[in-house]
Amino acid sequence: MRLVFTLFFISLFVYSQRGKTGDKTFSNLFPKDLLNEVSNSSLKIINEVDHDIIVLVRDQNKKYIRHVYIRNNGYFTFKDLPITRLYVQFKSKDFYFEDKERTVINFGVKHTFSFFFDASQTENYFKISKEEFFKP
């Protein structure tokens, strides 16, 4: 009985160490989030990989807009985005990626982006450095 009790609390402790979808995991490393409440635009990111990721959104000048933690098989919607072309970057395990496509955000547009990594489709993303990911 004691073993079951101990295993229960260990699993509870390990599970509680994971972030929640929507957490600002690295808020101390980035500037304040950029919002545009007039744009009425959004970008829904769906995490289709088997582990948690951190998503970072940058504007057309590669300046920080926002970041968020997304659990595996979860999703998060960035709302009130500025009107710009977006660069979407990901921290997936110990690797950092950037999507090769640029998402154009216009007034009232609602985009959906699914993040998955398939080694046979490496043309969708390219690796970036940790320094590039964390620059403001």
Task: Specify the pLDDT at position 121.
Answer: 55
Q: What is the mean pLDDT of residues 65-73?
A: 94
At residue 128's C-alpha, the angle toward residues 114 and 120, to 5°, is: 50
Q: How far is 121 from 93, CA to CA, in rounded Å?
A: 18
Task: Specify the pLDDT at position 5.
Answer: 55
Sequence ranges of the domains in the chain: 20-134
Q: How far is 2 from 40, CA to CA, in rounded Å?
A: 54
Q: CATH number of the domain at 20-134, please?
A: 2.60.40.10
| End-to-end CA gap in the chain | 51
How many Cβ atoms from other residues are within 10 Å of residue 75's Cβ?
16
- Residue pLDDT, tens place only, 105-130: 889 989 898 887 655 555 678 889 99
Instruction: Give the DSSP per-residue string, 44-106.
Output: EEEE-SSS-EEEEEE-TT--EEEEEEE-TT-EEEEES--SEEEEEEEEETTEEEEESS-EEE-
Give the residue with greater pLDDT, 28 vs 16. 28
Task: Specify the pLDDT at position 3.
Answer: 63
- For CA atoms 129, 132, 135, 136, the dihedral sign is negative
- Residue pLDDT, tens place only, 25-41: 898 999 999 988 888 99
Task: Specify the pLDDT at position 94.
Answer: 86
Confidence of residue 80 (pLDDT cuts 50, 70, 90): very high
Indicate the average pLDDT of the chain.
85
Task: Specify the pLDDT at position 102.
Answer: 85
How many percent of the chain have pLDDT more than 70?
82
